[in-house]
Chains A and B, each alone.
Chain A
Amino acid sequence: SQQGEEDPQALSIQEGENATMNCSYKTSINNLQWYRQNSGRGLVHLILIRSNEREKHSGRLRVTLDTSKKSSSLLITASRAADTASYFCATGDAGGTSYGKLTFGQGTILTVHP
């Protein structure tokens, strides 16, 4: 079963606009990560935010985490056509020892039109 839900399920924007996608989760976590997937291929790690952090930046990416609401958001600024992909949030369990286990959301399909 999935950890939570991502919102929206699909997002269509023009190049240069910002894209915001949200993720909710259900259990206590050590960290939350965002991954990107192009056309049903492998996932690529984008950014990780730890449970004691509230905001993190990496290039054009900004991630926020609200552990009281069990939610996170990913903002991509000044989007490009090459950002077109599916974006997934993933959580690792607090106190867990299954280091290879992540629980993924259902993803947001982002389409950036040139």
Chain B
Amino acid sequence: ETGVTQSPTHLIKTRGQQVTLRCSSQSGHNTVSWYQQALGQGPQFIFQYYREEENGRGNFPPRFSGLQFPNYSSELNVNALELDDSALYLCASRFREGSGANVLTFGAGSRLTVL
């Protein structure tokens, strides 16, 4: 059903470690955004990438960083993990050109647990 795939689906890290989450978007979807969803909350916007450049960021510290690659894949990196980083991380993509309506296609998410 979804054209966005994320890996890994689950992972456990300890405080202070670093993590890389991966996302493969639909072909032609040149905008990718990342969201953090804590348990029982709605998703919160982390940042977005368009044509491999970050062009929008939410209220997250610099230890959250990302990359977007020409093959429509992207990464979310989080350094110096904290307990509060435990959450479901969602990748979403869209095709930017067109109507401008920002309907997003989401992946199934990566659930990160920080101990």
Q: Which residues of A contact B (CB under 8 A)?
A: 1-2, 30-31, 33, 35, 40-45, 48, 50, 88, 90, 92, 97-107
* B65-100 vs A, Cβ < 8 Å mask (1 yes, 0 no): 000000000000000000000001010111010001
Q: Which residue of B lies closest to A105 (CB)?
A: B42
B residues at A contact (CB < 8 Å): 1-2, 4, 31-33, 40-45, 48-50, 55-56, 58-59, 88, 90, 92-94, 96, 100-109, 111
Number of A-B contacts (CB under 8 A): 86
Report the nearest A residue to B93, measured CB to CB.
A100
Question: Among A2, A102, A105, which residue has its beta carbon within 8 angstroms of that of B102?
Answer: A102
| 10 CB-based A-B contacts, threshold 8 Å | A40-B111, A42-B107, A42-B109, A88-B42, A99-B50, A99-B96, A100-B45, A101-B45, A101-B56, A104-B43
